[in-house]
Each structure stands twice: as structure tokens, then as C-alpha cells.
Amino acid sequence: MMDFTGKTAVVTGGSRGIGRAVCLELARGGANVALCYAGNETAARETVQAVEALGANALAVRCDVSDGGQVSGLIDAVLHVFQRIDILVNNAGVTRDNLLVRMSEADFDAVIDANLKGTFLCVKAVSRLMLKQRCGRIVNLSSVVGLRGNAGQVNYAASKAGIIGMTKSLARELAGRGITVNAVAPGFIDTDMTAAMPEAARAAVLAAVPMARMGAAEDVARAVAFLASDDAAYITGQVLAVDGGMAM
């Protein structure tokens, strides 16, 4: 288990799925956990309770990460309670899947705004604090789809591939101040999103996984925690695929 005693982590999209698993993993290491959520207040409260049950401090803030004003409000709220931010995990994201010829401009924009612009806004806000501290860990959630593409997900793949480029660029900008920036690219993970897939589609995707099984949210959370830890102090600009070999 990684030691995050005395550190504060902000996890966007932290109320469910991978985001919740990340919150709990960081809490097990002793971190203060601030999570933001888009609209499911009940799920956010449940995550806060689960974090507190592990003996860690928790805060939930409603925030649309594609809105710069709301992101500023999120950071202010976290600083008011915890005074500092040591770790940022950009997990918030949406999907609006469709084939290119059927995809609306609004659906393309919604995914780019939430996934890519939201990551940019959160990193910009938090990096100012980390630059003053001369230390920090930023972990961005990409996807196997950002590495290899996927039919029907032009918008999602573009956003997740963009996160990889952003990660590498930010790593170069911030390394000199002791700030690492890395990405984790989950594959076929057992979440609410994949549970909603038709059985035939699930079987087709699973057939492309060399390990022949879905991953768990906890698999991704442990990778995120490692990159957020002191053990990864000399790792930056990297993309760690947690996908059972899917993107090889």
C-alpha cells in the first residue's frame, strides 16, 4: 500500500466506478480525498462515507469540469478545507457514442469539452499551486480507445488521444518544478458503463483481450495510486495501459 499520509488528492468524477475506486485506494494510504461529481449527489455521499470509513478525511463538491468558473470554485473549496493539493487525478468523462455519419456536432463537442477541456482546466488550476509547492502528482485518465481507436467512438477516441498528447506536453513543462504528469489508459473495465453494453458487444470486446477477462476498477486505481506516489518520483510523461494486453 502506498503512503499518502498528510497529502490531499483531488479526484474528478470520483463518485462512481473507477473514480470511486481511486478515492478509496488513496484513502487507504492516508490521503485527504476531495472528489467532484457532475450530478449524482447520492453516489458522491456514498463515496465520502466509504472514504471516511477507512479513516480518511473526505469532501465532495459538485462541479462541471468543462466550466472554468466551476473548476475555480472546486479548487477554492478544497483549499478552504485542506489548505493544499498534492495529487490531481483527472477521471471525469462522458461518452456520446455513434458512427461518424450519425454523430451530431453537439455530441462531439460534449465529449471533447468534458474529457479534454475538463482535463486542461483542472490541470491549469492545480498546477499553479503545485508550481509554488515545487512538487505534485498529476494522473490523467486516458483509454485504450485513445491508443488504438474504436468504431463509433470518434469523439471519445479523439478526447482520450488528446489527453495523451496533453500529458506528454505538460510533463515537459512541469518536470523542472518536481511535478510529474502521467496517464493511465484503462481497457475493458467492469463499470456501470460497460455493464450497459449489449451482451454481443461485450463478447466481441472481450475476445480482443489477451487475458480473456474484464478488468476491475481496483486494477486501474492501483496503477493510479502508484503514479501518484513517491515511488514514481522519477516517472513522468508516460502512459500506463491497464488493459489485459488489449493495446499491445
What is the set of active-site residues? 156
Q: Which long-range contacts (CB under 8 A, 24 or more apart) does 107-113 make?
A: 107/155, 108/154, 108/155, 110/155, 111/155, 111/156, 111/158, 111/159, 112/155, 112/158, 112/159, 112/162, 113/66
Neighbours of 4 (CB within 10 A): 25
Q: Is 81 strand, coil or helix?
A: helix
Rounded-to-integer distance, Cα 102 and Cα 129, Å: 42
Question: What's the order of all strands across the beta sheet hosting 239-242?
Answer: 58-62, 32-37, 8-12, 87-90, 136-141, 179-186, 239-242
Rounded-to-integer distance, Cα 115 and Cα 110, Å: 8
Residue 163: burial class (beta carbons within 10 Å; 0-12, 13-18, 19+):
buried
